[in-house]
Amino acid sequence: MKQGVAITGLGCLSGAGMNLAESMQSLFRNQRNPQPPQRFSTDHPVSYPVLELRDGLELPLDMCETIHARTSQLALAATLEALDDACWDVASLRGKRVGVCIGTTVGCALNCDDFYRAYKTDGDPGLATIERYLRSNPAALIARQLQLDGPNQTVVNACSSGTDAIGIAAAWLRAGVCDIAIAGGADELARVTYAGFSSLMITDTEPCKPFDLHRKGLNLGEGAGMLILESEAVRDGKKARGYLLGYGSACDAYHLTAPHPDGAGLKQALREAFAAAQVTPEQIAFVNAHGTGTPDNDRVESRVLHEVLPGVPFVSTKGYTGHTLGAAGAIEAVFTLACLQRGELPANIGFSTPDPELPATPLRENSRVEGDVALSESLAFGGNNAVLILAKGDG
């Protein structure tokens, strides 16, 4: 096993909770609260439940004035929690080489439908929403807001963006491009993604049921997850929350929206991650699966897990958070590390009836974790697959 890149701070928020502690409470109490979207409306004949943040966002006042796009607000909230967890105050980051790598989907898309509606009706809409979009690129904005000098990157690999962003940031640290990295993902719920996912007919009209026989699709969610990565020189003996041992990614090169039926890309990403981490599948204590609750995703994932990681317990936490798209991989990496530390895994909420087509089934109840290494995986549009192998921290 390699030593890996130290992770010294974690932060996350989603429909499961406004911070990591609250989220863990929901997970282990097996609570979730999907409901029809409150922040926007559509004339869609069917209403699909989503997981929105429970409470309003609270950000430092000086930052509220300059950050208006919700995705960036989510990214900032998780970043501040993670920095605090890593015992960094913003001022002491100045003068250090700090990279920012953030995955998103909505945070980068020119989906300004109110503006566009006015434009279409031959109005002359003002450019306030466009200006907000131009100011709100998540990685660029976090770097600018915290006045950081270093590389920054906004990754738009659809639903694996958060996982990829963490893997990429770790490579920056190994190469010495920066000494500290803020890495993760953020995505807000938006009418556009809501309309898009329902048009693909992969959203469930009920709370989602990952890996269940009766699964009909996903519930959308929103949120952000952030990790602080530090070089050994900067960390200087500080306790780590965990370590990133390995990252792997591969493309199915098969179809724009459907996963490869045999999970070719996922298996290749797993192989790369195992090789990079220098661990074997037997060493994996559990898997935080992508488990969106769509028929195709869960079938492919279950088959690959059965083949590559037979008998290893796995759970999808998307029942608690919904599918937070570009944030998903990051939130799940945060959960993976927190569960390793806690020594316990939550039940895969929504699963009750096994599907005979699925050779591997997820955890039905909260369970103890046996081991120090775990794996988190993401499958995305465009055939992207990304895998992180994470190890428990220093107690």
Partner 1 sequence: MDIKQKLKQVLIEELNLEDVTPEEIGDEEPLFGEGLGLDSLDAVELVVVVQKHFGVEIKDMEEGRPALQTISTLAAFIEAKQQG
Partner 2 sequence: MRMAILGIGICCGCGNGVEALRSALQTGRVAPQEVCLERNGEADRFPTYRSSVEELSEFIPKRALRRIDHFSRMTLLGACLALKDADLLEADRSRTGVVIATGYGTLKTTFDFLDSYLDFGYACSSPTHFSNSVHNAAAAHVSMQFKATAPSLTVTQFEMSVASALLTAQLWLAEGRVDRVLFGAIDEYCEVLRYCRQQFFTDGEQGPIQPFSFDQQSAVVGEGAVFLVLTKAQEYAPYGYIDSVRLGNHLVNAVELPQDDMLIVGADGHKECGRYYAQLLKGREATAYAPLFGSFPTAAGFDLAVAALSLADRTRYPNPAVNGCANDAAEAAGRQFSDEKISCLKFGPGGDYGLIRLSL
Q: Which of partner 1, partner 2, none lies near 216, with the C-beta cut-off 5 to 8 A by kind?
A: partner 1
| CA 230 – CA 238 distance, rounded (Å) | 10
Tell the residue number behind the tokens 């922040």, with chain if given.
39
Tokens found for residue 233? 């020189």
| CA 321 – CA 210 distance, rounded (Å) | 12
130 binds partner 2 (CB under 8 A): yes
Minimum Å gap between C-beta 382 and partner 1 is: 12
Tokens found for residue 111? 């989906």
Q: Which of partner 1, partner 2, none lies near 253, with the C-beta cut-off 5 to 8 A by kind?
A: partner 2
Q: Per CB under 8 A, which of residues 183..242 are in contact with partner 1?
A: 199-201, 216
Minimum Å gap between C-beta 17 and partner 2 is: 28
User: Of 159, 178, 208, 339, which one is the catalytic site residue?
Assistant: 159
Which of 25, 199, 280, 353 is close enough to bind partner 2 by CB under 8 A? 199
8 Å CB contact between 368 and 350? no
- Binding mask 22-51 toward partner 1 (x if CB under 8 A, else -) reads -----------------------x------
Beta carbon nearer to partner 2, 189 or 338: 189
Nearest to 248 by CA among 264, 224, 231, 265: 265
- Alpha helix ranges (H) inside 176-241: 191-199, 232-235
| CA 181 – CA 5 distance, rounded (Å) | 11
Q: Per CB under 8 A, which of residues 363..382 are in contact with partner 2?
A: 380-382
210 binds partner 2 (CB under 8 A): no
Q: Per CB under 8 A, which of residues 236..275 are in contact with partner 2?
A: 249-257, 264-265, 268, 272
| CA 248 – CA 228 distance, rounded (Å) | 20
Instruction: Please enumerate in sequence order all residues whose Cβ is within 8 A of that of 29, keeping only pairs 6 or more positions apart, or say none.
Output: none
Which of 137, 163, 288, 348 is close enough to bind partner 2 by CB under 8 A? 137
Beta carbon nearer to partner 2, 70 or 241: 70
195 binds partner 2 (CB under 8 A): yes
128 binds partner 2 (CB under 8 A): no
Tokens found for residue 307? 């083949």
- Alpha helix ranges (H) inside the chain: 20-28, 61-64, 70-85, 90-93, 113-120, 128-135, 138-145, 161-175, 191-199, 232-235, 264-277, 295-308, 318-321, 328-342
Which of 4, 9, 150, 393 is close enough to bind partner 2 by CB under 8 A? 150
323 noted as active-site residue: yes
Beta carbon nearer to partner 1, 35 or 205: 205
203 binds partner 2 (CB under 8 A): no
Displacement of CA 200 from its chain's centroid (Å): 21
Q: Which of partner 2, partner 1, none lies near 78, with the C-beta cut-off 5 to 8 A by kind?
A: none
Query: 244 has which bridge partners?
Result: 5, 390
Beta carbon nearer to partner 2, 277 or 347: 277
Which of 31, 36, 64, 117 is close enough to bind partner 2 by CB under 8 A? 117
Which of 144, 271, 306, 342 is close enough to bind partner 2 by CB under 8 A? 144
DSSP letter for each residue of 89-139: -HHHHTTSBEEEEEE-SGGG----HHHHHHHHTT----SHHHHHHHH--HH
Minimum Å gap between C-beta 383 and partner 1 is: 13
Beta carbon nearer to partner 1, 140 or 251: 251
| CA 23 – CA 37 distance, rounded (Å) | 20
159 noted as active-site residue: yes
Beta carbon nearer to partner 1, 61 or 201: 201
Which of 61, 62, 89, 175 is close enough to bind partner 2 by CB under 8 A? 175
Beta carbon nearer to partner 1, 127 or 258: 258
Q: Per CB under 8 A, which of residues 247..276 are in contact with partner 1?
A: 255-258
Nearest to 193 by CA among 113, 254, 138: 113
Residues in contact with partner 1 by CB under 8 A are 45, 199-201, 216, 255-258
Catalytic residues: 159, 290, 323
